[in-house]
Structure 1
Amino acid sequence: MREFSLPALYEVPADGNLTDIVRRNAAQHPDVAVIARKIGGSWQDVTATAFLAEVHTAAKGLIAAGVQPGDRVGLMSRTRYEWTLLDFAIWSAGAVTVPVYETSSPEQVQWILGDSGATACVVESDAHSAAIESVRDRLPALKHVWQIEGGGLDELGRLGQDVTDETVEERGSFAKADDPATIVYTSGTTGRPKGCVLTHRSFFAECGNIVERLRPLFRTGECSVLLFLPLAHVFGRLVQIAPMMAPIKLGTVPDIKDLTDELAAFRPTLILGVPRVFEKVYNSARAKAQADGKGKIFDKAADTAIAYSKALDSPS
């Protein structure tokens, strides 16, 4: 087997962790929109300063609830603004994020939360809360469950009112590069899903080198990414963290059925996904063009795009 390697373009800080990203963005790019959220049907930009404040508010609530450094905290939700917010909040509390696919059965939820030893969990909906409640008696370590759509973030805000910024800064600095950042459970193995422990260094090395290698695609204040992949999968997490490291604006789509419409509304300069997703987007757009009597124009545009892509790949 032949092996190829390239020198690293990004040096991982030995004493740093992923919370450094949001703190650095607020210090160096305070007014830059690093993320956007959908409110009332419209995209609303969130600056680096505002995002850091929201992350700290949620982290204070977790700390006040008794989440300790190194604790595992489950996160079960579709891909949405709050997922990214809570991911950084969990790290800012010194804890480790344990993603759970939002389509998981109660038995799968019980296995992941139980095997990881999660002491708390944030879910998205009533259905998710019900799934956990049905197996709660088999999760002795689980002390808290908050629900995004049930005002859980507001509850965390109230809980953390007496926690100081200094406490969050201390907790956020607890983990070092080689400490666990997340435990991702994969179904790609035989038997029950296995928990893959990924460190802060893993994400720094992967995302830092992606950003540096492809810097023209990650220009701060100019570029943007629309994320629709499940964040319980590691690829989705990479697509979440890399834009934050750049930083460029990140948008999230909870339902892939809305992707085509959101591409037009958000207008990202970059999207990352798997081939099957792009096939669905293409087929949907082509069917709509044909229904509107614009099928020939669409096909010519597609042919032009393919020819342009091939030209970019040629030596000349």
Structure 2
Amino acid sequence: MRDLALAPPPLSPLTGGLADSLFETAARNPTLPMLARRSDADPAVWREVTAVEFRDEVVDLAKGLIACGISPGDRVAILARTRYEWTVFSYALWAVGAEVVPIYPTSSRDQVEWILRDAGCVAVVVEDEQSVMTVGSVCASLPSLRHVWQLDAGVMDTLVARGEFLPFATVDSMRRIVLPDSTAVVAYTSGTSGRAMGCALSHRGLASPCDTLIAGWGHTVAPPGEQGVVLAFLPFSHVYGLMIQSLCVRGGLLMGHEPAMTAEALSSALRSLRPTYLYAVPSVLEKLYKNFLRTAQKAGRGALFERAAETARDFAAALERQRLGRGAGPGLDLRLQHALYERTVYRRLRSALGGRVRRATSGGSPLSRELSLFFEGIGVYVHDGYGLTETSGGLTMQPLGREKSGTVGQPLPGMEIRVADDGEILVRGPSLFQGYIGDEAATLEVLRGGWLATGDLGHLDDENYLAITGRKKDIIITSGGKSVAPAALEQRLRMHPLVHQAVVVGDNRPCVGALITLDPEFLTHWRAGLALQGDAPVREAREENALREEVARAVAAANSAVSRSESIRVFRVLPDPFDVANGMLTPSMKLRRDEIVRTYAFEIDAMYEARSHGRPPAPPQEPAGWEDSDNVFFR
């Protein structure tokens, strides 16, 4: 085994619960803006909510919860998108010592029933009438459930009115008895196979990585003298989203909420709130890149964008060599090219993010080195971090001034990482979970002498940077005995603008194959640019051939990063995407590989039976020109 642990010790131990930081900030700096809430009259206008206003809302709601019988240790589920009320409810619940049970709003009826029953929830906060009906249809099997509160029906006002008779001191006294090791959240794993399990996370566990990040990296979220601004749009039902919320509240950052994950909503929110720091997942960053490219191509300047993107990657790679002591940095010609594209391209790309973002963090899954270099090259350095639900979020971060793209950085102070002989990553530290509720056997299976077996595979390079190579259970073994980690191939496939999703298969098969879905928006744009001649049958046949050749180019590009025995030799383009509704994705958007392989067993068999090398790919065509437009985000 090989160990890695940074020398700096963890910060001072927590003395209370997560709600304490809000009360302390309100007492110390009552006028500090902490939340940004959209104006009812104009969604593009954000109204700032100060620390004392936020605290008072939390106290008023907490009094209503107490009046309804919510007690310390009670579990209350929140089944809603990322919105202002989610934050107020969670802090009100923590203030009275209750435990929050986040549920993805996209969860099925059976998933909702399982979580509410398994956690023994006494109440659930839902967003709309549809969610009320979902919960209502399973109430008969939930003897502990006493309350269903609907946000869109004005339940916050109702609860506030119900608790008016209680004094502030009632909430304050309950908050003060919350211990750091009390359970704050029961977060359910995505359940890529089998039932989801509830991870008990303590107040200390959730606060620990946040406080460490604030202490070491907090000064990077905004220019000196300015307050950091963050748009929260990732689900608070995932530990990454919860971590963002805690980081903002504990770090004194201004946080706005965007509940809709549509292209238009995100674009509008970013442009109006103008965050100084961006938190995202690789799929969002991949989508950004593809939409930059598509917008350029639609304006006739695709070739210009691709040259600018290549220069950005070269420039970032040269900067990386310089900061790691491996080179002199960008040469004069490269600096001149980069300066030209800064004026003509890069600043417009940054304007799509609001114009103020200079740094970002990616989490949830590894970010490709190619994409990381692109964003650094256009002026937005993306830290790629690593964490799990069982670790209360972040485990690693890029060391400032020594960032290395293609890795997830080094462990946070106080965390230890060990890579086992079989490549599995083991971790331990103050943010480890308290166990799976009601399943001691499963807890003991992953906790080995204080070390958590993550199920992830990775390696440490000579400078002790951690790289994630895949999931242990996802490894494919071909009939020839070759072991293949699918993640890297899938990641590279998704970099092609036409490819939306990719699943690499090949267990007990003669070679590696792939199931591919296409990006519908880019596919429409691509088809419009073909300008094929002839009658309908001829055009369709030519289009199908051109599409296959384009996908073959994407496969060839992915194969260039692996050996021949690991390369994709056959592929099939599927007509429908993988999503939560058809059971192919978890609520956190991870692939349910077993379900995908089972559902598409016929297509996989046919793909291998019809195995052929196909015709050689045609050279790509590049349209020229790109109109001078700032609107280069999602279209």
Q: TM-score, normalised by structure 2?
A: 0.48
Alignment-derived partner of residue 139 in structure 1? 142
Does residue 251 (structure 1) correspond to residue 242 (structure 2)? The answer is no
For 2:65 and 2:81, locate their aligned partners in 1 and report how far apart those are by CA, in whole Å. 21
* Greater Cα shift, 157-166 or 275-284: 275-284
What's the counterpart of residue 282 of structure 2? 275
Corresponding residue for 2:27?
27
State the SS of the aligned residue for 1:272: strand
Q: 1:307 to 1:20 in 2, by over 3 A?
A: farther
> 1:270 Cα deviation (Å)?
1.0
Percent identical pairs in the alignment equals 39
217-226 or 181-190: bigger deviation: 217-226
Choose which of 222, 227, 235 in structure 2 pairs with 1:222.
Answer: 227
For residues 83 and 154 of structure 1, the distance between their equivalents in structure 2, rounded to whole angstroms, comes to 14
Comparing 157-166 with 280-289, greater Cα deviation is found at 280-289
What is the CA-CA distance between 1:189 and the residue it aligns to? 5.4
CA distance in 2, matches of 1:252, 1:309: 31
Q: Deviations over 1:238-259 (max 9, x none)?
A: 1111111111111221112122
Q: Is the 8 A contact 2:221 2:276 kept in 1?
A: no
**Separation (CA, whole Å) in 1 of partners of 2:229 and 2:68:** 35
CA 295–205 in structure 1, closer or farther in 2 if over 3 Å, else same:
same
Partner SS for 2:23: helix
Amino acid at match of 2:100: T
Query: Equivalent residue of 1:44, what SS?
Result: strand
The one-letter code sitting in structure 2 at the alignment partner of 1:266 is: L
Aligned with residue 214 of structure 2, among 196, 211, 216 = 211
Q: Which amino acid aligns with 1:136?
A: C
Q: Give the distance between the partners of 1:269 and 1:250, measured in 2 at CA.
A: 11
Cα contact 1:61–1:157 (8 A) shared by 2: yes
Greater RCO (CA < 8 Å, at least 6 residues apart):
1
Aligned to 1:284: 291
Please state how far the C-alpha of 1:221 moved relative to its aligned partner.
4.4
Distance 2:90 2:245 in 1: 10
Q: Is the 8 A contact 1:90 1:96 kept in 2?
A: yes
Shift of 1:287: 2.5
How does 1:51-200 map onto structure 2 within 5 Å?
51-188=54-191, 190-200=193-203
RMSD: 1.9
Number of residues of Structure 1 aligned to a counterpart in Structure 2: 315
SS at match of 1:225: strand
Q: What corresponds to 1:266 in structure 2? A: 273
- 1:218: how far off? 4.1
Q: CA deviation at 1:34?
A: 1.2
Contact 1:218 1:246 in 2 (8 A): no
CA offset digits 1:49-86 (Å, max 9, x no partner): 11111111111111110001110011010011111111
What amino acid does structure 1 have at the position aligned with 2:269?
E
Q: Structure 2: how far apart are the matches of 1:146 and 1:60?
A: 15
1:244 and 1:30, CA in 2 relative to 1: closer, same or farther beyond 3 A?
same
Answer whether contact 1:9 1:212 (CA < 8 A) is retained: no
Structure 1 residue 292 displacement after superposition: 4.5
3-state DSSP of counterpart to 1:3: strand
User: Residue 167 of structure 1 aligns to which amino acid in structure 2?
Assistant: T
**Deviations 1:101-124 (Å, cap 9, x if unpaired)?**
101122211111111111111111
Distance 1:272 1:172 in 2: 30
Greater Cα radius of gyration, structure 1 or 2: 2
Structure 1 counterpart SS, 2:279: coil
* 1:111-153 CA distance string (max 9 Å, x none): 1111111111111111111100011111111111111111011
Q: What stretches of structure 1 of length at least 5 have no aligned partner?
A: none
Question: 1:214, CA displacement in angstroms?
Answer: 0.4
TM-score of the superposition, structure 1-length normalised?
0.93
Conserved 8 A contact 2:77-2:125: yes
Q: Aligned partners of 1:214, 1:103: CA distance in 2, in Å? A: 33
Within 2, Cα distance between the matches of 1:104 and 1:124? 13
Contact 1:8 1:209 survives alignment (8 Å): no
Q: Which moved more, 1:281-290 or 1:263-272?
A: 281-290
Which has the higher mean CA deviation after the structures are superposed, 93-102 or 25-34?
A: 25-34
Residues 292, 252 of structure 1: CA spacing in aligned structure 2 closer, same or farther, 3 A cutoff? farther
Aligned-partner Cα distance in 1 for 2:296–2:52: 42
Residues 76, 307 of structure 1: alpha-carbon distance in 2 compared, 3 angstrom cutoff: same
1: CA distance between counterparts of 2:72 and 2:132? 25
State the AA in 1 paired with 2:19. Answer: T
